[in-house]
Copies of this chain bind each other. A is one copy, B any other.
Amino acid sequence: MTDLDSAFAALADPTRRAILARLASGEATVMELAQPFDMSQPAISRHLKVLEGAGLIVRRAEGTRRHCSLAPTALEELEQWLAMLRRVLEANYGRLDRLLATMSLENDPSKTENKE
């Protein structure tokens, strides 16, 4: 679950999301990634370290450059967690629907508490 922690935390920063979006259209070096931002190179290096730690990107050394690219399965885990939540959510809505259909009562929302 700590993997999810770091992945979501990594996505909470707009600079890092921009870097990911950039990487989605192809690999890039640290310099290339840093160029659009009004921010020092060490700052970008740290963002990349965070993204790497979260398993969202991978790096490949080539001479003095580091080529960064999106980790192939980067989004899997996140999407799975969101999908899980949505699944439970929809299951619950379905249950609520059935409950309401069965009871066929007036729809006072304050009375439709649906506690397990």
**Chain A interfacial positions (CB closer than 8 Å to B):** 1-2, 4-6, 8-9, 11-14, 17, 20-21, 24-28, 60, 62, 67, 69-70, 72, 75, 78-79, 81-82, 84-86, 88-89, 91-92, 96, 110, 113-116
28 contacts between A and B (CB under 8 A): A1-B14, A1-B17, A2-B14, A4-B14, A4-B17, A8-B12, A9-B9, A9-B12, A12-B12, A20-B85, A24-B89, A24-B92, A25-B88, A25-B92, A26-B92, A26-B96, A26-B114, A26-B115, A27-B113, A27-B114, A27-B115, A60-B110, A70-B89, A72-B116, A75-B86, A75-B89, A78-B82, A79-B79
